[in-house]
Amino acid sequence: MIMGWFKNSFGIGAGVTLGDMAAQTGVAMAVDIIDGSTKKLQDDYRIEHFDPIVRDDISHIIARGALSEMSYPFPTELDSNAKAAQQPGEKSSFVQRHKIAVGITGALVLVAICNPKQSAIVLLIGLWLLVVAVGITIFKKASRTATGMMVGALSAPREQLIKDGQQYWRIREYVRQALAASELSPQDAVLKLSRTQLGQQFPDTVEEIEANAFYYKQKLQQ
C-alpha cells in the first residue's frame, strides 16, 4: 500500500520532506548562507536538473522496490556561458579601446599647434573627448566587475550542486544494486537517498512523494 507508506515505514507525519526525515534520523545538511536572489537561481537550477531524477528514483523504489539502470543524468560542468563569464577577458590598451577619440584628440592638438589663436578652444574640445573616453572606460569596467561578481556568486552554488549530484549517484548506484540483490529493503533504500545532499534539498513532501509513486504504479499496471 503506497498511501501512508512513510507513516507506516518511519512514523513521520504530514508535510515532512526528505530533508526533514533525514534530520529526524540524525543527519543534518550544512547550509550555506546566500542572498535571496542567488538562492532562487540555485533552486531553479536544482529543480530543472536534479529534482526530477530524485523524484523518479523515490517513486520507483516505493512502487516496485527497485531502481532502473541508466546513464549519468546530471550536469557534469557549468554551461559555456557561465564558464566564459568566469574567465578574464583579454586586456587591451586605452589607445586600442578608444582609437577614434585618441585620434581626434591628437589631430586637435596638431591644429592647436598650427593655429595658436584657436588653441584654447581646440584643446578644450580635445580634453572633453578624453574625459568622455575615460568615463566610458570606467563605466564598462564597473559593469564587467558587477557581472563577474554576480556570475561568481551563482557559479559556486551550481558547482556545489554538480558535486552533490556526483555524491547522490554513487549512493544511488549502490542502492540500486543492493535492491536487486535483496540486500536492502525499500525503506532503507529511501532512507539512504534521503541522507544525500540532494535528498536533503528535495522539496517534495511525503504526501507528494506518495502521490507520484501511486501514479507511477498505476502506469505500470496499465
Each domain of the chain, given as residue ranges in start order, spans 5-88+142-221
Residue 142's pLDDT is 58
The low-confidence residues of the chain, meaning pLDDT below 70, are 25-36, 79-130, 132-135, 137-154
How would you label 78-109 residue by residue, b for 16+ Cβ within 10 Å and e otherwise?
beeeeeebeeeeeeeeeeeebeebbebbeebe
- pLDDT 10s digits, 27-61: 555 445 455 677 888 899 999 999 999 999 999 99
Question: What's this model's pTM, rounded to 2 decimal places?
Answer: 0.66
Residues 6+ apart with CB under 8 A from 220: 63, 64
Residue 139's pLDDT is 64
Residue 2's pLDDT is 86
Residue 85's pLDDT is 44
